[in-house]
Amino acid sequence: MPAAIALCVILAVLAVFQLALALGAPLGRFAWGGQHRVLPARLRIGSAVAIVIYAVIAVLALDRAGVIDVVSDVVATVGMWVVFGYFVLGIATNAISRSKPERYTMTPVVTVLAVLSLLIALG
């Protein structure tokens, strides 16, 4: 359960960050390739979608950890392995970002999320 709670806390912080980006905060150098200070409309929509994805991940993690019971055990288990793969892919994409702020900030964050999601997936 501690891994699921830690994962959810980090996702909540990232959701606030994505909300700020979606609302036009000049933090674009930390996300979406770092090419824009203020995100264009299509990337703002992407940030809003990311918030929904984070919520789904949180539900899967909490369900897999036994904190809530929203989906079947199979869905929670398979879902957490998919989430682990998603975060591993995120490590790679952030690590090769042309934006140094994104690379140096988000790569470690996503690495922690990958480790936590692996622990949750393993049960």
**Residue ranges of the chain whose pLDDT lies below 50:** none
For the chain, give the mean pLDDT.
96
Q: What is the pLDDT of residue 88?
A: 98
- pTM above threshold 0.75: yes
Q: What is the pLDDT of residue 15?
A: 98
CA dist 57 and 4 (Å) reads 10
Q: What is the pLDDT of residue 111?
A: 98
Neighbours of 12 (CB within 10 A): 13
CA dist 38 and 29 (Å) reads 8
Exposure pattern of 21-59 as b/e (b: 16+ CB <10 Å)?
Answer: bbeeeebbbbbbebebeebeeebbebbeebbeebeebbb
Q: What is the pLDDT of residue 82?
A: 98
Q: What is the pLDDT of residue 43?
A: 97
